[in-house]
Chains A and B, each alone.
Chain A
Amino acid sequence: MEVLKLQNLKKYYGINTNITKAVDGISFNIDEGEFVAIMGASGSGKTTLLNCISTIDVPTSGFITIGGIEITKIKEDELADFRKDNLGFIFQDFNLLDTMTIEENIALSLIVNKENINIIDKKVESIATKLGISDILKKFPYEVSGGQKQRCACARALINNPKMILADEPTGALDSKSSRMLLETMKEMNEELKATILMVTHDSFSASFCEKVLFLKDGKIFNEIVKGEKTRKEFFNEIMDMLTLLGGDERQC
């Protein structure tokens, strides 16, 4: 069953003759339980595309359907409810509130929704255990490492059981060890918790953890490859070859 459906999505910036076509007619589907990466060089329109999908930005034209709901037609106020019920977010720079402990950050959306306190505690506890951050729950974001912060962000994204998790360069601010740990966590989220994840990245190592990779160039889909039965290493090499074709990223593993 498809969770996300994009039809001829366009997003233009600028006025008159000076128009930037950040997203220029993109269409694709993501099914439930898929883990998809969007790759491309800087300026290829990855983040803009993600922002449109995450309802942070408004597309110029085209349709976005999430879980059967056409989001381009939802009003501003209803969008807030929609995001709350359907979407989880992970950002490159974490976007945690440093005035709150890790625990409170994770629980924020539940607290805001005025859930029962016992239920909140239980949910936070279980998700923190799964992501391996249960011992830092009482700490503040500035007291923990980048990798831990990002896992906290994952927990926050997961806690509402959203239909889809949107991740924007989640490993961008992490070292290679933390990156690997985070990606493995996300893979587990995908496999065990059945979370549908759409990740934007320019790092082929990160992309090799996904099942499907979409390549963007100049606002259009350039190609799409699927992991299938390949090992992660083989898939990584395939991504690298594709990037060479696109003209970017050096080989590393």
Chain B
Amino acid sequence: MLGKLAVRNVKRSSRDYVIYLITIIISFSLIFALNLISTSEEVMKLSQGLETFQYVMYGINAIVLGVICFLINYTTKFIFEKRSKEFGIYALLGIKKRKINKMFLLESLLLGLVALLVSMPIGFAISQFLSIFIVKLLELPQAIFIEPNLKSFVLLFIYFALIYLLVLCRANRRMKKSSIHDLLNLEKQNEKKITKSKKHRNIIFLLSITLGIIALFLWNLKLKPEVLQDSSIMNTVLICFVLLIISIYGVMISVGDFILSVVLKNKKIKYSKDNLFIVRTFSAKAKTLGFVFGTLSMLITLSILFLNISSLNKGAYDYKIELDSPYDVSVSDKKENLNDYLKVIKEDYTIKNDFIYDVYQDRNAKYLKVFPVYEYKSDEKKYDAVIKLSDYNKLLELRGKDKITLKNNEYSVVVYFKHKNDENFNKINKITLSNGVELERKEIMTKNFFPRLSNTDYTIIAPDEAVRNLETNESNLVVNTVEKTNTALREKMKTELKDYLTYIDEDGSIVNTSYNIMVKGELIEETNTMTMIISTICIYMAFIFITSAGTIISIQSLSDSNKYKYRYKVLSNLGVRDEDIFKIVRHQLLILFGMPIIYPIILNFCLITSINNIYKIMLDSNTVYLSYFIGTLVEFLVIYAIYYIATYFSFKRNIKEV
């Protein structure tokens, strides 16, 4: 009978249970999707490095497990509070608490199992989407199908068992600890304040901010490019994170009172517009929900951070591809050979466009002399590479970039941006080519540089007239194809043009020069492993964190909506129009949603700026990270806004219904 009663109660409060179910389903779907991917053989075949990926995934799953545990525990607690009165009445009527408890636990477990079943197909669908995402990310030629495998099912069940063991233990303790009196009145109770004195809160606030600044400072101090070889970095990172976590919780617990005390002191601020109303709502929320908001802020901090790292990483990846192989195929060889290469490519691919250009030698080598490598180079290799302006412009055109111009007595240098700040390099502003032509420097360009341009770190671009009579060193062929290239092309060229690509040196050993061929498809396959690992993990974590944060905040406000129903009814009876009430609701929700994201955004901006210290050497420019930051912020806010809107509409429906 008790079971029947419970079923009816669940039906009546189905809306609350829908939130509960959705939470669990999303959580398990994500876990399952990731299990599928990390155990999929198809994905493993992509590259050998992916074995590490698998192990990293297990670790990541452990963290995610923690977050999901928190989430499910939170929702279970929420449901328990909703139904506490019902349980209280049962207890009053003489049903043993043990029995009520058993019923509740069984119910939660059953719901969990249902969610588990539902989450399997959903998780499977998500895994296919993720695989599309991976394929897109890595620009792979064909899609991967993720097959369901036993291992991922087993893992899912283990995770499920672990989570529910913990959650049900907590629920069990919660029930045991509360008396009938508590149960009957739980719904009416406010959450407990964490600290009592207002003064304490201001101190906590300032202290937390200081801790945050210290952590950021430490973080910035330690994150230097050299750090990659330094193993002590992990300790610093760990300390920073602990400090940041304390800081986030501290700030979220105390910020309400701090702002209130500032506003109350200043009458001008206090009475302008609806400041007082907003601040009061804000601090009331912060006072009672400090801990929940702290957790939310942390989840949000992490999700923005992970999104950012993901896009930084993707940026670095794109930049590397663009830097190393801006064209689908590029070959350096003697001019007369190049057409044969083109022929081989044509056998399998449709050529979109192709171009052959010469690299000239300036034997005066004024630039090379400022580099220490000058000493070690053999005499025949002591030269500066020069390219005709028209050739360079044609190359730019093929990449879809703007052309450059030069006067007849001018030259420009394209240089790898690492050398941009080299003093000796910058000092040179006039050169005399080995054919006697004198040129003045127009500019030093780092944009559009790629090493294969002339196979050096810098290339001089000179007017077509000026290079006359200069020796040519080698010629380069660049080709863009309609189809995506792959490793096979390079292998084919290697075997068919063997004669061009090997020579016998003085010692009589065979030297292979197939490195003169660069095929974009091959490079992509080589580069993608790490990128994929980091990006997929980051996106996945970010997604889990955003969903958790969104769900918690949504549940929190919807549970409020039941309490607020009465207040809004009073307002309505007093003659406030519905539109105005909805406006208040929107403001209120905005505060609730906005509060936990402000501090994380500030923190993230600082964190990412420091991380950029490492990434900048792999990126297009020192400031490109800002665009990534804004981009990820937009991504985050869009998802967050969806939660906001959905919550607003359910809230509206809740307070309107009788």
Contact = CB atoms under 8 A, between A and B. Distances in A.
A85 B94 CA distance: 8
B93 A112 contact: yes
A77 B179 contact: no
Contacts of B2: 112
A177 interface: no
A77 B180 contact: no
A193 B109 CA distance: 45
Contact of A95 (B1, B179, B184): B184
A92 to B, nearest CB: 11
Interface in B291-336: none
Given A56-B184, A97-B86, A76 B94 contact: no
A80 B91 CA distance: 7
Interface in A59-82: 76-77, 80-82
A157 B179 CA distance: 20
Given A56-B180, A80-B97, A112 B12 contact: no
Contacts of B184: 56, 95
Contact of A77 (B5, B12, B90, B96): B96
Given A80-B91, A99-B12, A112 B1 contact: yes
Contact of A99 (B1, B9, B180, B181): B9
A89 B90 CA distance: 12
Contacts of A114: 1
Interface string B89-111: 11111111110000000000000
Interface residues of A, number: 27
A97 B180 contact: no
B13 to A, nearest CB: 8
A29 B277 CA distance: 53
A56 B93 contact: no
B8 interface: yes
B490 interface: no
Given A95-B85, A97-B89, A112-B1, A80 B96 contact: yes
B89 A95 contact: yes
Interface string B575-604: 000000000000000000000000000000
A76 B93 contact: no
Main secondary structure of the interface of B (DSSP, over half): helix
Contact of B92 (A56, A57, A99, A111): A56
Nearest to B11: A99
A20 B467 CA distance: 100
A99 B89 CA distance: 13
A83 B92 contact: yes
B179 to A, nearest CB: 7
Given A109-B93, A112-B95, A56 B179 contact: yes
A54 B92 CA distance: 9
A14 to B, nearest CB: 14
Nearest to A80: B96
Nearest to A54: B92
A8 to B, nearest CB: 22
Interface string B66-101: 000000000000000000011011111111111000
Interface string A97-129: 111100000001101111000000000000000
Name the residue among A58, A80, A84 with the largest chain B CB count within 10 angstroms: A80
A83 B88 CA distance: 13
Contacts of A178: none
A161 interface: no
A51 interface: yes
A85 B93 CA distance: 9
Contacts of B86: 97, 99
Interface in A219-253: none
Contacts of B1: 111-112, 114
Interface string B1-38: 11001001101100000000000000000000000000
A77 B85 contact: no
Contacts of A89: 92
Nearest to B183: A56
Contacts of A51: 181
Contacts of A84: 93-95
A1 B292 CA distance: 55
B94 A109 contact: yes
B12 A80 contact: no
A114 B94 CA distance: 13
A108 B93 contact: yes
Contacts of B91: 80, 83
- In order of increasing CB-CB distance, the 10 nearest A-B pairs are A84-B94, A109-B93, A80-B96, A99-B12, A56-B180, A83-B94, A56-B181, A99-B9, A99-B8, A80-B94
Given A95-B85, A112-B93, 12 more contacts: A51-B181, A54-B92, A57-B179, A77-B97, A80-B94, A98-B12, A99-B5, A99-B86, A100-B8, A109-B94, A112-B2, A112-B95
Interface of A: 51, 54-58, 76-77, 80-85, 89, 95, 97-100, 108-109, 111-114, 156
Interface of B: 1-2, 5, 8-9, 11-12, 85-86, 88-98, 179-181, 184
12 contacts: A55-B180, A56-B179, A57-B181, A80-B96, A85-B94, A89-B92, A95-B85, A95-B184, A99-B9, A99-B12, A99-B86, A114-B1
